[in-house]
Structure 1
Amino acid sequence: MNISRRSLLLAGGSLAAAATLAACGSNNPLASGTPSEAKPSGATSPNASAPAGGGDVTLQQWYHEYGEAGVKEAVEKYAAAYTAAKVEVKWTPGDYGSILAAQLLTTDVPDVFEVEQGGSLDMIRSGQLADLTDIMAPVKDQFNPAVMKRFTFEDKVHGIPQTIDMQLLYYRPSLLQKAGVEPPKTFADLVKVADAVKSADIGGFFAGNDGGLGVLGTILIWASGNEQLTEDRSAVAFLNDNFYNALTAYRDFYKSAGLLQAASAEWYDGAAFVNGETAMQWGGLWSLPDIQKAWGDDVGVLPFPAIGAGGRPAVPFGAFGACVAAKGKNVDASKEFVKWLWIDQDEDQVDFSNSYGTHIPAKTALVAKADKLAAGPGKDAADFVSNHGFANDIMWSGAMGDAYNAAVSNVIKDGKDPKAEFAAFEATAKTELAKLAG
Structure 2
Amino acid sequence: MSAMSNSNWSRRSIFRAAAGMAAAGTLAACGGNNGRGGGSGSGTNLVQFFHAYGEAGTEQAIKRYAKAYSKANVSTTWITGTNFEAKLFSSLLTKQAPDVFEFHPQLQLIKSGQVADLSDIIDPVKDDFNPADIKSHTVDGKIYGVRMIDDPQFFYYRKSMLEKAKVEVPTTLDELLEAAAKLTTDKVKGIDLGNDFTPVQGNLIWSAGADTLDANNQIAYHTDAVVQGLKQLRQLFTSGHVLLDAPTDWWDPSSLNQGLCAIQWGGLWSMPAMQKALGDDLGIFPFPKVGDNGKLSVTNGGWSMFVNAKGKNVEAAKAYVKWLWIEQKKYQEDWALSYGFHVPPRSSIAAQATKLKSGLPAEAVKLFTDYGHFDNIAWDQTMITALNDVIASSVRKGGDPEAALDACDKKVDVELKKLFG
**TM tier relative to shorter chain:** 0.7 to 0.9
Q: What does residue 215 of structure 2 align with? A: 231
Decide which of 342, 354, 362 is 1:359's aligned counterpart.
Answer: 342
Distance 1:188 1:346 in 2: 44
Cα deviations across residues 400-436 of structure 1 (Å, max 9, x unaligned)? 3343333334333454443333223222221222123
Residues 79 and 157 from structure 1, CA distance in 2 versus in 1: closer, same or farther, beyond 3 angstroms? same
Aligned pairs for 1:106-125 (under 5 A) are 111=99, 113-118=100-105, 120-125=106-111
Q: What does residue 218 of structure 1 align with? A: 202
Q: What does residue 207 of structure 1 align with? A: 193
Aligned pairs for 1:274-285 (under 5 A) are 274-285=257-268
8 Å contact 1:129–1:158 — kept in the other structure?
Answer: yes
Name whichever of 166-175 and 131-140 sits farther off. Answer: 131-140
- Identity over aligned pairs, percent: 35
Distance 2:152 2:219 in 1: 24
| SS of residue matched to 2:376 | coil
1:180 paired with 2:166, answer: yes
Distance 2:194 2:60 in 1: 33
Decide which of 157, 172, 179 is 1:171's aligned counterpart.
Answer: 157
1:62 paired with 2:62, answer: no
Residues 324 and 266 from structure 1, CA distance in 2 versus in 1: closer, same or farther, beyond 3 angstroms? closer
Residues 49 and 314 from structure 1, CA distance in 2 versus in 1: closer, same or farther, beyond 3 angstroms? farther
Number of residue-to-residue matches in the alignment? 410
Q: What does residue 40 of structure 2 align with? A: 51
Name whichever of 96-105 and 239-248 sits farther off. Answer: 96-105
Q: Aligned Cα RMSD in Å?
A: 3.5
| SS of residue matched to 2:271 | helix
8 Å contact 2:171–2:289 — kept in the other structure?
Answer: yes
Name whichever of 70-79 and 242-251 sits farther off. Answer: 70-79
Output the TM-score relative to the length of structure 2. Answer: 0.83
Name whichever of 321-330 and 358-367 sits farther off. Answer: 321-330
Aligned pairs for 1:8-407 (under 5 A) are 9-10=12-13, 12-14=15-17, 17=20, 34-35=29-30, 43=35, 48-52=37-41, 58=44, 60-64=46-50, 66-67=52-53, 68-82=55-69, 85-94=71-80, 97=85, 100-101=88-89, 104-105=92-93, 111=99, 113-118=100-105, 120-210=106-196, 213-233=197-217, 235-328=218-311, 331-391=314-374, 393-407=376-390
* Amino acid in the other structure paired with 2:296: P
Shift of 1:303: 1.9
Residues 313 and 9 from structure 1, CA distance in 2 versus in 1: closer, same or farther, beyond 3 angstroms? farther
Shift of 1:101: 4.5
Distance 1:170 1:51 in 2: 42
Cα deviations across residues 293-339 of structure 1 (Å, max 9, x unaligned)? 22111101122122122222222233222223335555445434423
Distance 2:259 2:84 in 1: 34
| SS of residue matched to 1:63 | strand
| SS of residue matched to 2:295 | coil
Cα deviations across residues 48-88 of structure 1 (Å, max 9, x unaligned)? 53333x7xx636251325444433443344345456x2342
Flag structure 2 segments of 5+ consecutive residues without an equivalent.
Answer: 22-26
8 Å contact 1:38–1:102 — kept in the other structure?
Answer: no
* Amino acid in the other structure paired with 2:406: A
Residues 366 and 271 from structure 1, CA distance in 2 versus in 1: closer, same or farther, beyond 3 angstroms? same
Cα deviations across residues 187-229 of structure 1 (Å, max 9, x unaligned)? 233223323333333222122344xx32223321111111111
8 Å contact 2:40–2:69 — kept in the other structure?
Answer: no
Name whichever of 154-163 and 295-304 sits farther off. Answer: 154-163
8 Å contact 2:203–2:298 — kept in the other structure?
Answer: yes
Distance 2:198 2:97 in 1: 35
8 Å contact 2:46–2:317 — kept in the other structure?
Answer: no
8 Å contact 2:156–2:285 — kept in the other structure?
Answer: yes
Cα deviations across residues 357-398 of structure 1 (Å, max 9, x unaligned)? 333322244235345433222222233333323355334344
Shift of 1:349: 0.8
Q: What does residue 24 of structure 2 align with? A: none
* Amino acid in the other structure paired with 1:249: Q
Residues 408 and 106 from structure 1, CA distance in 2 versus in 1: closer, same or farther, beyond 3 angstroms? closer
Q: What does residue 423 of structure 1 align with? A: 406
Cα deviations across residues 228-282 of structure 1 (Å, max 9, x unaligned)? 112232x311212222222223233334354344444432332221111211111
Distance 1:69 1:275 in 2: 19
Q: What does residue 29 of structure 1 align with? A: none
* Amino acid in the other structure paired with 2:213: L
